[in-house]
Structure 1
């Protein structure tokens, strides 16, 4: 297993099905912080549903179609990152994140996603990394901007969350633009 150092007290590590109990507890703890923007924040309600989500990412990873990682601070799961999609043939992947409120503002997500983008471009030869967020999620858009991504537009009413049609702002960075100046 690998771990990436994010700060003196924080690291990025794979999040796997055997960690379902910890992930379920984490989701309960941060639900109020992620509920507005993270769909699984509403569906992961116990160890079984946590295992189901983590297993879906294990299957994606086995197929080379996605991955999920956790961010641990002082040994406690506080958030994470995903390659929600990972299409090697097209050279395009989508990165996503979530983080509990008590550890926000430290740059952990930005550092973690930098590691992911470095790996996607440098190791896997991807061409494009995308980032989708609700335009109301200004913190997420700010991370995309710090990462040197370009806002390419908005997919209007492109997904439904709790019966509410939501817009998705599209950000991206290309391999030849990375690392940002």
Structure 2
């Protein structure tokens, strides 16, 4: 990281010349090879998502501030509440072969003035978990943030006790930045929050890794030949 010294001999950060606030995330869909990202629409997505989520035994909601949902009407009500919001900005993840919504993810804590945005509320139904589409969805959302919108920083935060989420963040290219102790309370319990981030300076190498991993020659059908973790470690 470039560091400079001012006239008083103090270290200061690098210049960010001609910085302008970034656009808010648009509602335009994003097409990938395995999935399509669409703005959450309760009328089109809620029933499909609830059906897909019903294969879970409840553990996918342990570290979320809501869920599990008692029935379809409860999930529809939640989706109807979330869908109009712009922060968090919810997306449905659509499996391209089946055309079915199988997960959600959002942008949140959007600071367009400073070019910082977080991803969160990631709830993948069992059918989407550990698939190429699950990873591609994260890449498509990152690509929009950096390449389309020009943000400087993309964050991932989770309960510090959520080991799968922490492992996923690092596999996806996020750098661990520390733990904020007693950061919040949810479902009546404490949460220490683990912080991860990717910056625009990190992004070119990370994007190249995703492009190599997503290349058709890296797959035999939907089975990967080289893992994303291995490619990230070698970048």
Which residue matches 1:145? 170
TM-score with structure 2 setting the length: 0.64
Q: SS at the partner of 1:59?
A: coil
Aligned CA RMSD, in angstroms, stands at: 2.5
Which residue matches 1:122? 147
Structure 1 residue corresponding to 2:102, chosen from 78, 99, 102: 78
Q: Distance in 2 between matches of 1:30 and 1:77?
A: 15
Contact conserved, 1:44 with 1:50, CA < 8 A, in 2? no
Contact conserved, 1:31 with 1:41, CA < 8 A, in 2? no
Determine which structure has the larger helix proportion and give its number: 1
Determine which structure has the larger strand proportion and give its number: 1
Give the length in aligned residue pairs. Answer: 175
Q: SS at the partner of 1:89?
A: coil
Structure 2 residue corresponding to 1:40, chosen from 62, 66, 72: 66
Cα deviation code 1:18-70 (max 9, x no counterpart): 3344445455554614221122224685436634544434231xxxx442111
Contact conserved, 2:102 with 2:124, CA < 8 A, in 1? yes
Shift of 1:87: 1.6
Q: SS at the partner of 1:68?
A: strand
Does the alignment pair 1:89 with 2:113? yes
Q: SS at the partner of 2:197?
A: strand
Any unmatched runs of 5+ in structure 1?
none
Which residue matches 2:91? 69
Structure showing greater radius of gyration is 2
Q: Distance in 1 between matches of 2:84 and 2:194?
A: 27
Shift of 1:90: 1.9
Contact conserved, 1:23 with 1:50, CA < 8 A, in 2? no
Q: Distance in 2 between matches of 1:42 and 1:160?
A: 18
TM-score with structure 1 setting the length: 0.80
Any unmatched runs of 5+ in structure 2?
1-27, 207-234
Contact conserved, 2:49 with 2:103, CA < 8 A, in 1? no
